[in-house]
Amino acid sequence: MEQDASTLPQTAPNSVQQVKHHLENIITPSGKETSADLICFSHLRWHFVYQRPQHLMSRFAHTMRVFFFEEPVSTEQAAPFLEIGTTPCGVTVVVPHLPAHLDNVGAVACQRKLLDQLCDEYKIHHPILWYYTPMSGAFSAHLGSARVVYDCMDELSGFRAAPPELLQQEQDLFRRADVVFTGGYSLYEAKRPCHPHVHAFPSGIDADHFRKARSRLPEPADQAPIPHPRIGHYAVLDERLDTALIDEVAKVRPNWEFILIGPVVKIDPAELPKRANIHYLGPKSYDELPAYLAGWDMAMMPFALNEATRFISPTKTPEYLAAGKPVVSTPITDVVRSYGDAGLVRIARDPAEFMAAIDQQLSEAGRQRTWLKKVDRVLQEMSWDRTWAEMKALIA
């Protein structure tokens, strides 16, 4: 019978020490025990937005060497090379630099050679191979491995400019993978027929970090001049943002202030709505987020309903809740099932419903104590530490 995150045995390791005991003695295909390293292949850069890969890989780094292998960047130099650095949490970030003139075949060959050089230099033998992007299999499938893990956090084929070969690469990865994790339940349902060992792990939460926003924190300088009420959202601002919804609500309710935080990616900034009560504050670090949240009256998740959002399970949902901020969201399937149906998040299907939900929440601002108790009961089961430990038990 398939297991998901809610049906794992109670004996799953729940501490760094216990997990280390499991993972330091993984059996290789040759039958020998080895101290495992981990190479994570990611389409997201370590220093871009702090989310699922960073939460999990930083915890892995407590127990083993972790190499975070990013997608390549172009260089004008004639020879390819690796840029290697170490983060404060101990993760080694590896960025391939490839000559700009290379075609796809040449780029794959270069990355394979650079990966082999990395393994030789750092004496990496039979590592755990952890994939966020199936495209990396083109240059890494030849490596001997202790385990192959596919952590499918998004349906990348639904994103703008997805490479046409991605679906075939994913099928190849399913054949190689020992275990598959998904970033939400709807994605689990979509991927379950593809592999015998698929397990749902929706977004976790560093609750203590975001609970800071329930207290009065120093107001960030760029947010301080903005009047109340403030309705905020932080995210990568891309094709998943319902710009028409934001524009319409901001037009009809000019006395509400809408704050959007995050980098603009894959869309023309000119596509973003421009109104006096819409404020784009740019990217902020993970450590800065609680200070911004503390100054909001509520949070919103204005996601468009399209192929890029069909299977998402937004990490920010529990983060907003941990901050004590009421949330209104468009009807993203995993948000409705995990939070809307439980009465933790208000769901709105169009601008009129969105405005009505905000109106109702702002009028009930003084009656949140019961709601917060319910929020905290749910969040106590969702820590990244727990997610990490349960994943490790399934791998080991």
Q: How much is the mean pLDDT over the chain?
A: 89
Residue 16: pLDDT band with limits 50, 70, 90: very low
Angle subtended by helix axes 351-363 and 243-252, to nearest 10: 60
Quickly list H helices, the chain. Answer: 16-23, 52-60, 104-122, 137-140, 166-176, 185-191, 207-211, 243-252, 289-294, 316-322, 333-335, 351-363, 369-379, 384-395
Report whether pLDDT(199) > 80.
Answer: yes
Pairing of strands 230-234, 198-200: unpaired
Domain pair 16-201+383-395 / 207-365, same fold: yes
CA dihedral 323, 326, 329, 334 (to 10 degrees): 60
Hey, where are the domains in the chain?
16-201+383-395, 207-365
Angle at 244 between CA 239 and CA 245, to 5 degrees: 105
384 φ/ψ angles, rounded to the nearest 5 degrees: -65, -30
- 118-138: average pLDDT: 96
Coil vs helix vs strand at 40: strand
User: How do residues 227-261 score in pLDDT, each as one tens digit?
Assistant: 999 999 999 999 999 999 999 999 999 999 999 99
pLDDT band with cut points at 50, 70 and 90 for residue 388? very high
Residue 269 has pLDDT above 70, yes or no: yes
Reported as a pLDDT band with limits 50, 70 and 90, residue 31 is very low
Please report which confidence band the pLDDT of residue 297 belongs to, taking 50, 70 and 90 as the band edges. very high
Say if residues 183 and 313 touch (Cβ distance below 8 Å): yes
Check: CB of residue 269 under 8 Å from CB of residue 260: no
- Which pLDDT score is estimated for 230? 98
Query: Can you name the CATH fold of 16-201+383-395?
Result: Rossmann fold (3.40.50)
Q: Report whether pLDDT(20) > 50.
A: no
Q: Report the pLDDT value the prediction gives residue 363, as an integer from 0 to 100.
A: 86
**In the beta sheet, which residues pair with residue 69?**
41, 94
CA angle 21, 22, 25 (to 5 degrees): 85
Task: Give the pLDDT confidence of 373-383 residue by residue, as tens digits.
Answer: 999 999 998 99
Q: Is the pLDDT of residue 333 over 80?
A: yes
Q: Which CATH superfamily is domain 207-365 in?
A: Glycogen Phosphorylase B; (3.40.50.2000)
CA distance 17 to 396: 14
Which residues 6+ apart lie within 8 Å of 172 measured at CB?
134, 137, 141
The model's pLDDT over 59-83, given as tens digits with 9 standing for 90+, comes to: 999 999 999 999 999 988 889 999 9
Inter-CA distances, 283 with 50, 212, 241, Å? 11, 20, 15
Assign 369 a pLDDT band (cuts: 50, 70, 90): confident
- pLDDT of residue 30 exceeding 60, the answer is no
Q: Count other Cβ atoms within 10 Å, centred on residue 88.
A: 6
